[in-house]
């Protein structure tokens, strides 16, 4: 048989390098596309609804995503780990994970329904009613989290990125239709945001069926496998979710709708920076599982430095141009958010670096260690928010997040020598990192002949 018919397309180190690099670049591209779409949806809602209406919209649509994400019990990351470690059990593991997602989202709906009235009591009764109705979309969020984890475990990052882009794209189309019909209100905008996951979930389930044929056979054993890893990693997932949403959940209870609307706009502008770190994590975790400890450490530390450099560069631009960007994009009413925007930009940079470094523990089967450390740091958020928000408003919320994230970053660094007996990863970029980034981009897009470039150290070696 001819050699090329019997040879795997991933046999050479350079092709493995380009495959990983291509996945990261593709993921960054998808997330930047999502950023652009979110900017457009943010501009439409902020300008049309004004700060008060934007705050009311945030109070209604926050809960399905927030409650579903904090009640994952670590199942998405556990599914990725177990599918890489036990590929023959893919059908049973995927089926069990999907059922667990539905069950946990049911708990999220019940919790949200019971506590909604008391948590956002300062909002009109109609806002509370619609917030409860929108909780019905919680299963869509849970299923998407699990489904994307399953696809990424098979290196199907293209499908995962399609799911990532599809939901905000449908939301934008709905908002544009409402705007054209002069029917855009906080309530109709909420309808555009929340049920937009129906079509992506249907497409995802079809793809999962073709890849895994999910089954509930051996459900008890599969659930035990998922929870054995998931409960230990749950704190990491919880910390990531809480870092994204806990401030909104606490601020919405304290601030008037107008200030909530201004804060949400600043937050969404700063969260654009998440594209770099989350793209790296999406590819890094599945690639790092089953590698040697030293290899995992080098992979995660380099990935952290490179993604942080990119995030810091873009973050500096946002911080400098923040006041102008807020006025031009969202309106002069939002210019007062420039101070908290700069604080949130710094917080996003540190938070992303922390999550990338956490993948070392995830890949080495030690999620419980970093879970305990991250939860310890995150616990600071609640008392800091309670102390600072009533006194300093939205700026206090930003400071509380920054202090909590800084503590988590320090604790994760210290955990390397203490728990893994490894040196603290270098967190300042090196010349090799910059060479690696440029050579990766050039090779992936074939801008230069291979002979003109020195072989780069691979991301997955």
Tens of pLDDT along 11-58?
444 444 445 556 667 777 787 888 889 889 999 999 999 999 999 999
Cβ atoms of 313 and 272 within 8 Å: the answer is no
Q: Is residue 392 over pLDDT 80?
A: yes
Question: For residue 88, is it within any domain?
Answer: yes
Tens of pLDDT along 213-236?
998 888 999 999 899 888 877 876
Average pLDDT over residues 136-143: 92
Cβ atoms of 20 and 459 within 8 Å: the answer is yes
Lowest mean pLDDT among 167-171, 215-219, 392-396: 215-219
Q: Identify which has the larger pLDDT, 118 or 434.
A: 118
Tens of pLDDT along 403-425?
988 988 998 898 899 888 888 88
Can you give the pLDDT at residue 111?
Answer: 93
Q: What pTM does this model have?
A: 0.73
Average pLDDT over residues 97-124: 92
CA distance 98 to 149: 11
pLDDT band at 171 (very low <50, low <70, confident <90, very high): very high
Q: Is residue 189 over pLDDT 80?
A: yes
Question: For residue 451, is it within any domain?
Answer: no
Cβ atoms of 52 and 261 within 8 Å: the answer is yes
User: Which positions ≥6 away from 139 have C-beta within 8 Å?
Assistant: 68, 101, 102, 105, 106
Question: For residue 292, is it within any domain?
Answer: yes
Can you give the pLDDT at residue 296?
Answer: 87
Can you give the pLDDT at residue 444?
Answer: 52
Can you give the pLDDT at residue 440?
Answer: 62
Question: For residue 2, is it within any domain?
Answer: no
pLDDT band at 441 (very low <50, low <70, confident <90, very high): low
Tens of pLDDT along 283-335?
776 777 768 888 888 888 888 988 898 899 999 999 998 888 888 888 888 98
- Give the range of the structural domain holding residue 44, as residue numbers without chain letter: 11-446
Task: Name the DSSP letter for residue 423.
Answer: P
Question: For residue 453, is it within any domain?
Answer: no
pLDDT band at 127 (very low <50, low <70, confident <90, very high): very high
Per residue, what are the HEC states of 417-433?
HHHCCCCCCCCCCCHHH
CA distance 80 to 359: 12
Question: For residue 394, is it within any domain?
Answer: yes
Residues of the chain above pLDDT 90, percent: 35
Question: For residue 452, is it within any domain?
Answer: no
Q: Where are the alpha helices (DSSP H) in 326-393?
A: 338-363, 367-378, 381-392
pLDDT band at 134 (very low <50, low <70, confident <90, very high): very high
CA nearest neighbour of 141 among 193, 82, 207? 193
User: Which positions ≥6 away from 116 have C-beta within 8 Å?
Assistant: 63, 128, 131, 132, 135
CA–chain centroid gap for 228, Å, is 23
Question: For residue 6, is it within any domain?
Answer: no
- DSSP track, 261-293: HHHHHHHHHHGGGHHHHHHHHHHHHHHHTTS-H
Give whole-number Cα distances, 275 to 12, 73, 450, in Å. Answer: 29, 24, 29
Can you give the pLDDT at residue 108?
Answer: 93
Tens of pLDDT along 371-382?
777 677 778 888
User: Which positions ≥6 away from 22 have C-beta within 8 Å?
Assistant: 444
How many domains is the chain built from? 1
């Amino acid at each position: 048989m001819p050699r090329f018919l019997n040879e795997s397309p991933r046999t050479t180190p350079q092709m493995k390098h380009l495959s990983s690099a291509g996945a990261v670049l593709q993921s960054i591209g998808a997330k930047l596309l999502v950023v652009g779409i979110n900017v457009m949806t943010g501009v439409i809602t902020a300008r049309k609804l004004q700060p008060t209406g934007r705050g009311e919209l945030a109070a209604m649509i926050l809960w399905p995503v927030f409650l579903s994400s904090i009640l994952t019990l670590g199942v998405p990351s556990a599914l990725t780990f177990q599918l890489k470690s036990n590929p023959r059990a893919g059908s049973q593991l995927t089926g069990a994970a999907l059922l667990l997602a539905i069950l946990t989202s049911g708990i999220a709906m019940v919790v949200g329904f019971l506590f909604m009235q008391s948590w956002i009591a300062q909002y009109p009764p109609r806002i509370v009613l619609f917030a409860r109705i929108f909780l019905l979309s919680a299963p869509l969020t849970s299923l998407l989290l699990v489904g994307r984890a399953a696809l990424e475990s098979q290196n199907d990052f293209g499908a995962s990125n399609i799911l990532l882009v599809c939901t905000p794209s449908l939301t934008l189309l709905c908002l544009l239709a409402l705007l054209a019909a002069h029917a855009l209100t906080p309530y109709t905008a909420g309808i555009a945001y929340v049920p937009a996951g129906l079509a992506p979930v249907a497409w995802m389930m079809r793809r999962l069926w073709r890849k895994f044929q999910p089954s509930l056979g051996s459900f008890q054993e599969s659930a035990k496998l998922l929870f054995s890893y998931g409960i230990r990693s749950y704190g990491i997932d919880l910390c990531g979710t809480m870092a994204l949403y806990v401030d909104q959940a606490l601020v919405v209870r304290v601030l008037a709708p107008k200030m909530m609307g201004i804060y949400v706009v600043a937050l969404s502008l700063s969260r654009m920076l998440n594209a770099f770190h989350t793209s790296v994590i999406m590819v890094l975790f599945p690639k790092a599982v089953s590698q040697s400890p030293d290899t995992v450490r080098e992979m995660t530390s380099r990935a952290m430095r490179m993604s942080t450099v990119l995030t810091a560069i873009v973050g500096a631009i946002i911080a400098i141009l923040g006041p102008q960007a807020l006025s031009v994009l969202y309106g002069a009413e939002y210019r007062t958010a420039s101070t908290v925007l700069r604080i949130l930009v710094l917080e996003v940079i540190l938070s992303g670096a922390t999550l990338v470094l956490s993948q070392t523990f995830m890949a080495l089967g030690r999620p419980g260690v970093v879970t305990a450390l991250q939860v310890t740091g995150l616990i600071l958020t609640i008392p800091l928010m309670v102390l600072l928000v009533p006194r300093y408003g939205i700026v206090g919320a930003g400071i509380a997040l920054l202090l909590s994230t800084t503590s988590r970053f320090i604790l994760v660094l210290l955990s390397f020598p203490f728990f893994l007996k490894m040196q603290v990863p270098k967190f300042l970029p090196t010349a090799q990192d910059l060479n690696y980034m440029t050579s990766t981009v050039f090779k992936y897009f074939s801008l230069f002949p291979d002979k003109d470039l020195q072989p780069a150290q691979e991301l997955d070696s």
